Amino acid sequence: MKTTEALRARRTYYNIKKEIPADIEKVNEMIRELTELVPDAFNMKSSRIVVAEGEMQDRLWDTIYEAFAGKVKREKIDSFSRGAGTILYFYDRETVERLQKSFPEYAQNFPVWANQASAMLQLAIWSGLRELGIGASLQHYNPVIDKKVKELLDIPKSYELVAQMPFGGIVSEPEPKEREDIAKRVRIVG
Ligand SMILES: Cc1cc2nc3c(=O)[nH]c(=O)nc-3n(C[C@H](O)[C@H](O)[C@H](O)COP(=O)(O)O)c2cc1C
């Protein structure tokens, strides 16, 4: 699949299952490879990834459910735990602070850049999963879940949680998206 095709095929998949059409080790390898390939500001390498799979996938979503003390419906949580795994995206605050000290004139930009680099990685992996025939969605239960999730997974204090990406086998395709006039958003000059 070409990059454009993988991007076109990437959608928000809520209806997922544990069985995936690829070896889980291939998924893990793709995640490692894309984390190396995706760029970031000053080449600071601030992104951190933790992937919950197998039993930890269920424990993670139980923990997220508990963190909300009933404010998020169990069915919603179960729709994510039904997947094969969840990719947790973090950036390392210590790395960001080191760069802020080295380049004080850009200090306020580094946390923004760390988030942007994470977003680039999120899209790359989201598309990479789809290329393997796997569906995913992007969730933001942070910051409510941060403390409990960090305890569960023994995550270093300096890691800032940015997003959660549950993934799994595709049960059903989402509805097609409405297309809009792209000229409203892109203007070519010259
Ligand atoms: C930065 C960002 C944050 C998002 N946060 C959530 C979220 O918290 N929960 C969710 O269900 N979808 C979330 N989404 C998914 C979008 O709603 C979805 O990508 C958009 O509606 C387009 O649909 P598509 O992914 O099927 O193309 C997020 C997407 C982006 C890019």
Supply the DSSP string of 88-133, one letter for each residue.
Answer: EEEEEHHHHHHHHHH-GGGTTHHHHHHHHHHHHHHHHHHHHHHHTT
Q: How far away, in angstroms, is 50 Cα from ligand 1 center?
A: 20
Res 1: pLDDT: 77
DSSP state of 44: -
Q: What's the chain's average pLDDT?
A: 97
Whether the CB-CB separation of 160 and 91 falls below 8 Å is answered with yes
**DSSP codes joined into one string, 59-92:** HHHHHHHHHTTTSS-HHHHHHHHTSSEEEEEEEE
Q: Is residue 168 part of a domain?
A: yes
Burial grade of 151 (CB within 10 A; 0-12, 13-18, 19 or more): exposed
Find out whether the beta carbon of 139 lies less than 6 Å from any atom of ligand 1: yes
What is the band of 3 on the pLDDT scale with cuts at 50, 70, 90? confident
Q: Is residue 145 part of a domain?
A: yes
Q: How many domains does the chain have?
A: 1
Q: Residue 170 pLDDT > 90, yes or no?
A: yes
Taking the C-alpha atoms of residue 21 and residue 32, their distance in angstroms, rounded to an integer, is 19
Q: Is residue 49 part of a domain?
A: yes
Q: What percent of the chain has pLDDT over 90?
A: 98
Phi/psi at 35 (5° precision): -65, -35
Domain that holds residue 117: 3-184
Measured CA angle at 98 (ends 31, 139), to 5 deg: 40
Find out whether the beta carbon of 24 lies less than 6 Å from any atom of ligand 1: no
Note the pLDDT tens digit of each residue in 42-57.
999 999 999 999 999 9
CATH number of the domain within which 61 lies:
3.40.109.10
Note the pLDDT tens digit of each residue in 73-84.
999 999 999 999
Q: Is residue 96 part of a domain?
A: yes
What is the band of 167 on the pLDDT scale with cuts at 50, 70, 90? very high
Find out whether the beta carbon of 173 lies less than 6 Å from any atom of ligand 1: no
Ligand 1 atom closest to Cα of 174?
26
Q: Is residue 189 part of a domain?
A: no
Find out whether the beta carbon of 138 lies less than 6 Å from any atom of ligand 1: yes
Residue nearest to atom 2 of ligand 1 (CA): 138
Note the pLDDT tens digit of each residue in 132-145.
999 999 999 999 99
Find out whether the beta carbon of 142 lies less than 6 Å from any atom of ligand 1: no
Residue nearest to atom 12 of ligand 1 (CA): 138
